[in-house]
Chains A and B, each alone.
Chain A
């Protein structure tokens, strides 16, 4: 049946509507899809149906059971397989003539450099994290390739076409800063469940099962910030004592089946679970208590007692028989309190058993059993274990440890279900929103390819029954955007044979004040400063020794703020590049950054202060007419992405759209 005429017929509709010219171009249009998850699956389907013929699909993830409620190209049998490969295979079955090239890798890997991005005609983002979205935005700007950006969270979604110098880029609009907590709040004075969850996930778990480090950097930093010195000294001692527990976790003899259970004799990991418990929930807390002035004005924590919790005789101070506190008393099923009283959500379905709150005793059992399981994995050869919301062992461990800590501090406990959401940055996700978004992405991509720029729209899917979709024309780039207002260039080199000064001198060239030529500059790589006029130690070091490699950017910032920032992408020398020639190829022409107009008067903000309603609730009303700009003053890109990433991992929900913050629900805490 695959005759020419039937193929013609099959594509007749789409051809009539796209026009012959565009339609005939689609089979040879090279398209990059970044992400094969919720949006990605939908997108791949649409791209194939629309008639694109050359698709590269990249995703670093493997398939998890919780993907199957929306990522429809995957089946149960595909769990743990590469998303990119399975998606490509499933989609190809529908139309074998489409070339789909799946890549199972991280988009931030060095081989995906600017030259690689430049090999595509258009890039479509279907990512779920801010960091990767920012990265692709930047790569597309550097490669001057159009990008259609997207994101979803529950019922909300957005699509944004991005064309260099023509539209706003992803970073032109402010992104909410993920919530972070002072280190002492996490380590010694928690007051909310989230503090204990962050402690268990980002401190205790890495301390016991992660790489061997004492978390000293964080404390050095805190010390610089002027936090309580005595407190920090105690915390430092506390960190060092982990060495003992780490040893115990790793040095026991694995039992025959590699698993620890209650019946295996005196195993080292059982020791270790007890050791860990006594250290963090008893002696560490006692140490903190010894600093009397810390607790002069705060409710002091209560050290926990392993044996008493185990035999049910442990009672927390203030834990009376009241209903609201039953979660903090010992063992609900011991004192006969029905467990369903604390889990209203679970009452309608018994299958949701992880929605119930754990008693102290249950937390202890879970702490011991999850520590056993994790220790067994270390002994079976895993180097380090880090938190993964879909890894039951780590989730159980964080659930147990955070609830125990909460109990010690008199903070309400949380169910495993809630902890998963809070610790795992879980954003609700459904098929419908992804389908809507993916449909719009391709429609916007077609406008881009047709060069019908007047048809470009920033689209938001909102939770309003009256206007499900809000579309607005795309705005021009923000004139102070620290990302898209940079002047981009590419520097092909062998980083092992090029020094930083060769790089700087090469890029600046020998010009005479038109933006080229020698001048005082600082050089940054992702927030690290590599050199400035008063810091020349690195100038004669090779780029390689400075950990600057293919796929990274070096930013050259004018010291006097007279010239725009030059953002130089590091690329690879062509294979035929002779070894006798210099180990780099300069961009031609050299980048010419714009002259910065020195502001004479600082203008007051043009937007009048917004009147707030009595209830302080922002209402989703399309998009605010005026949005604050990220960078209202010329500013060096100083923020350290690595720090930011760490915060994102620790933080709560990361919302992409400022409007999304309105959803108050995660903050509502009810004693049930």
Chain B
């Protein structure tokens, strides 16, 4: 035993010194989220700079959920002093101790405690002074988030940020009591990693040569029973279809009767009744003949304006998309094959072999894609290699979102009216919040009554529009008193009637959902909300008003 132990000592010390792969503390800290958006998403987050206008409870809740996962920097722009209400509803203040101190400084200090690698700053000036500085002031940031800022300032802000596509996106958040809405202002948002739920096609209807050859090479009849029970269903389907075509003049089954017959032919291939791999093949039998085409969502992108106006200055995404369009125009008119093979009933040997076939073919098609790209104007050099791989790997889920300027909906009575018809609840929430926000600036708070808001809502809509009951309900929820109640509530403090009450649970909810969308925008992963997301926390519903 002694000689053994000496062997092991010399053996292990002779090998490379430390390969224990314990990750560093940063990776450990972010472990659970890296499993959602990977290192690429994390590095996008870490280089982001976020400007938040106002230091409300909702604003700090949103920031909390951005500081924790590790954005690069945030600034809170706010000239307000901490009020009594702030101290009661904003967790990122030190309760009564903070009252009277600058709200932004207090919040930044406490938010920074959440994550030492995030940089934060308080800017104690008012929003209009920032707006006065113009586009250059905002160009420093990658995203701007505004919560409950006055209507006219929002209008100016959104105009500035809309003026140039390189300026940051703007997330507008409004809340009152249990109602809220948010939307994202962006010109264009392209997504490579949308993480679609639909897996890429296995292309069993158009088997690539090596797959077809493999399926043909198997001697199903004389194969050992155990092996027979472990042929992956993908191979079974390719073979069954090949056999079918051989007997039917090269044609795939088209009628229901033919398809049933095809299904039966798969059952007939079984050697034993309990061969699960054949059961899987039967369940998946449509894959053998339903034609694999470029998915509709991706095919639509080939018509996108970004391609019709492609210039060398266009973003790499569109050059890659152009190459993809070219790729798909060639036979077999499909997307490049994916190397990802779903789990299927098989033994290791069979499964690994099939994996290798897919891997090899997908590499081959990726090379073809790269060749096309190389021949295009921009050339491969213009695009990072990692991006090409990501693009090809995720091409079945590519997305392009195009947005409108904030406020476009409110300026369009017809669109508002049709939104009120198609999604009355969400549209009513939007109209209530929008009107209250306008009125808040125009009239003293006391004069904001249900009647005044209703009148404003009607003003936004085409003449003669009849308001659905949802509007009245929404107004009830923002706690705007009607004339009849004004006297009763006269003894209450002004803040009670404030239609912008920032409730802790609404703020917490918004903090989650808005930060979620911000992360999607920053990481360019997953598909963010496009339109106005209206939220009613009494009924716990959310919905989108298309803009």
Contact = CB atoms under 8 A, between A and B. Distances in A.
Interface of A: 1-2, 6, 9-17, 42, 45-46, 48-50, 65-66, 68-70, 72, 75-76, 93-96, 154-155, 191-192, 262-263, 265-267, 270-271, 273-274, 296-299, 306-307, 310-311, 322, 324, 333, 344-349, 351-354, 356, 358, 361-362, 364-366, 368-370, 392, 396, 399, 409-412, 415-417, 420-421, 426-440, 442-444, 455, 457, 459, 463, 465-469, 471, 612, 614-617, 619-620, 662-665, 667-672
A95 B347 contact: no
Contacts of B88: 9-14, 49
B469 interface: no
Interface string B69-92: 110000000000001110111010
Interface string B5-35: 1111101111110011111111111111111
A62 B506 CA distance: 30
A266 B495 contact: no
Q: Which 3 A-B pairs have the closest CB atoms?
A: A10-B88, A435-B512, A297-B226
Given A66-B31, A310-B12, A436-B513, A365 B529 contact: no
Interface stretch (B123-131, B134-142, B352-360, B437-445): B352-360
B232 to A, nearest CB: 12
A471 B26 contact: no
Contact of A667 (B27, B94, B343): B343
A310 B14 contact: yes
Given A65-B29, A324-B356, A352-B27, A439 B512 contact: yes
Interface stretch (B39-47, B364-372, B446-454): B39-47
Given A366-B20, A432-B65, A306 B8 contact: yes
A497 B1 CA distance: 57
B290 interface: yes
A672 B356 CA distance: 10
Nearest to B99: A1
Contact of A12 (B12, B28, B343, B495): B495
Contacts of A274: 4-5, 7-8
Given A298-B347, A615-B286, 16 more contacts: A10-B84, A49-B89, A297-B225, A299-B348, A310-B12, A324-B355, A348-B39, A351-B39, A354-B22, A368-B8, A433-B512, A435-B511, A437-B512, A439-B508, A442-B504, A444-B540
Interface stretch (B298-306, B327-335, B530-538): B530-538
A364 B68 CA distance: 37
Given A432-B515, A668-B342, A439 B35 contact: no
Most buried by B among A9, A430, A467: A430
Contacts of B199: 615, 617, 664, 668
B379 interface: no
B257 interface: no
19 contacts: A10-B84, A10-B87, A16-B501, A70-B69, A191-B347, A271-B1, A299-B348, A348-B38, A349-B43, A354-B21, A412-B352, A426-B31, A426-B35, A435-B508, A440-B537, A443-B178, A465-B528, A469-B535, A667-B342
B36 A16 contact: no
B162 interface: no
A616 B284 contact: yes
Contacts of B31: 66, 69, 420, 426
B429 to A, nearest CB: 13
Contacts of B100: 1
A196 to B, nearest CB: 11
A155 B505 CA distance: 19
B465 interface: no
A543 to B, nearest CB: 42
Contacts of B319: none
Contacts of B507: 439
A404 to B, nearest CB: 14
A615 B198 contact: yes
Contacts of B495: 9, 12-13
Contacts of B94: 93-94
A2 B84 CA distance: 10
Most buried by A among B70, B197, B537, B539: B197
Contact of B348 (A2, A191, A665): A191
Most buried by B among A45, A191, A426, A465: A465
A575 B11 CA distance: 66
A355 B498 CA distance: 52
A235 to B, nearest CB: 20
Nearest to B520: A465
B276 to A, nearest CB: 13
A467 B542 contact: yes
B297 interface: no
Nearest to A430: B33
B99 A663 contact: no
Interface string B42-76: 11000000000000000001001100111000000
A297 B11 CA distance: 37
Nearest to A195: B348
A346 B11 contact: no
A434 B69 CA distance: 13
B504 A6 contact: no
Contacts of A192: 348
A620 B198 CA distance: 11
Interface in B260-287: 283-284, 286-287
A518 B52 CA distance: 71
Contact of A66 (B21, B29, B40, B95): B29
Given A410-B352, A435-B65, A616-B283, A671 B13 contact: no
A444 B498 CA distance: 24
Nearest to A465: B527
Contacts of B227: 297
B503 interface: yes
Contacts of B355: 324, 669-671
B516 interface: yes
B69 A431 contact: yes
B96 interface: yes
A348 B40 contact: yes
A671 B359 contact: yes
B397 to A, nearest CB: 12
B255 interface: no
Contacts of B165: none
Contacts of B352: 410, 412, 671
Contacts of A46: 504-505, 508
B502 to A, nearest CB: 7
Contact of A670 (B40, B68, B89, B341): B341
Contacts of B15: 310, 361, 364-365
Nearest to B290: A614
A463 B528 CA distance: 10
A50 B505 contact: yes
A270 B504 contact: no
A9 B494 CA distance: 10
